[in-house]
Chain A
Amino acid sequence: MPLNRPLIVVLLLVLLAALALVKRGGREAELREGRILLGTLVEIQVPRGDRAARDAVTAAFAEMARIEALMSPHRPDSDVARLSAAEESLEVAPDTAEVFALGLDVAARSAGAFDLTLGRLKALWDLEGDNPRVPDDAEIAAALEGIGPGALRLDGRWVSKARPDLAVDLGGIAKGYAIDRAIAVLAGAGIEQASVNAGGDLRLLGSRGARPWRIGIRHPRSAEELLATLELSGRAVVTSGDYERFFEVDGRRYHHIFDPRSGYPASACQSVTLVADSAMLADALATAVFVLGPEKGLALLTEFPGVEALIVAADGATHATPGLAELKR
């Protein structure tokens, strides 16, 4: 059949239309992927569905897995496990050194309310494990011996412990750093808008389309209720609450945020939400303020310009930094 027949022209048109439809069907408006990393569900959202965006999300997850391999206490070859077992000073990866630098700064400024040496205490309570229990006073006293802001020293990439039996735990800061790294990888790949949400601790890249992201803050005593909705672009939000991981004995709740001064779960707050430019800083400060309580916690935050907080105290009263009201929707 000669190619100038009208039927051929029409069939080519049909083929073009079909191709256009296939392309249209394959273009997703939003990319949303989840992985289990750092002991929680990590979700990355990018409002693009093209190949470059998919590759960037895969690279961001790989970066978080790399940080987990460096900082998980459960992996024998991680920097944290090696440091806990070490009797002498140890050279750590540049990422680990960066986390120690900020962690030790917050530990010192919060007078030890935030602590990087709670490894023995956390192992004793076993809150993350199968058989959590309330240890006796002697066990707690032994686990607290030698801890505190002065228990670790960072010199370049070398970390040394004041006592060989100290066990390091980056539980209150490593997740924030991993979120920051994921955002850096996404931004480096040319992504302009995204969110990285690791079990309710999150950081945003840019805005959500033409408007800011709307971040709901969970009420600590009612899962269905929102404490507030914040409108944010390009910032990090981390919430520490007593409702996330806990067990109960004789009607008393024992949760996962420990007061390094008593060795028991901190009792001054129900939840603390921190807004900062980095998820690592928000993560560490949320723990510090949770332990310090509203009054001392807000006093500490005056040292960190641009950081905002929403605190629900143990009695249910809410406290906030002066700038938080501007972020509320």
Chain B
Amino acid sequence: MIAALWRRMTVLDRFIVALLLLGVLASFAVLGRQPAGARVLVERDGRLLFSAPLGEARRVALPGPLGDTLLEIADGRARILSSPCPHKVCMGMGGVFRRGELIACIPNRLIISIEGGADQGSPAYDLLSH
């Protein structure tokens, strides 16, 4: 069938077909290789509350049951600036930037995680027992 179609094509038809096929191959090559940019995700009770690229500096107030937790994204890192929780453990966790890293504020029920992006020096273990 392809041979029959090919015989019926004009030169312009063949040119358009070649161009489109080239476009398809190029899209495979480009989209398949490109890594997704790292993003900051904020979840509360299993629901996505907020998401933003790690590369764009901003401050966001995240509402939780105790009040607003202030998240800062700056210099390619996400960290908690202030929190209404009693022990401020989330503030003490510092900045996260590696894929899979997390900050959690248990009392205010917020989970901040980093997704996507290149693998930037992951630790030598899969999980940490502490």
Contacts and interface: CB of A to CB of B under 8 A. Distances in A.
Contact of A241 (B9, B20, B130): B130
Contact of B129 (A11, A130, A200): A200
B118 to A, nearest CB: 14
A61 B46 contact: yes
A218 B127 CA distance: 10
Contact of B126 (A9, A10, A40, A195): A195
Nearest to B106: A36
A41 B127 contact: no
Given A17-B27, A21-B27, A202-B127, A6 B9 contact: yes
B31 A9 contact: no
B129 A41 contact: no
29 contacts: A6-B6, A6-B8, A7-B13, A7-B16, A9-B5, A10-B21, A11-B20, A14-B20, A17-B27, A21-B28, A21-B31, A21-B32, A24-B32, A34-B43, A34-B113, A36-B104, A36-B106, A41-B102, A43-B102, A61-B46, A195-B126, A202-B127, A202-B129, A208-B126, A215-B126, A215-B127, A218-B129, A237-B129, A238-B129
Interface of B: 5-6, 8-9, 13, 16-17, 20-21, 23-24, 27-28, 31-32, 43, 45-46, 86, 100, 102, 104, 106, 109, 111, 113, 123-130
Residue from the set B13, B16, B24, B43 with the largest chain A CB neighbour count within 10 Å: B24
Given A34-B113, A36-B104, A41-B106, A226 B129 contact: no
Contacts of B20: 10-11, 13-14
A13 B21 contact: yes
Contact of A36 (B6, B109, B126, B130): B109
A34 B27 CA distance: 34
B17 A6 contact: yes
A313 to B, nearest CB: 18
A320 interface: no
Contacts of A130: 86
A216 B24 contact: no
A213 B127 contact: yes
B128 A4 contact: no
A208 B125 CA distance: 11
B44 to A, nearest CB: 9
Residue from the set B6, B113, B127 with the largest chain A CB neighbour count within 10 Å: B127
A34 B28 contact: no
Nearest to B104: A41
Nearest to B41: A34
Interface in A211-243: 213-218, 226, 229, 237-239, 241
A237 B28 CA distance: 43
Nearest to B111: A34
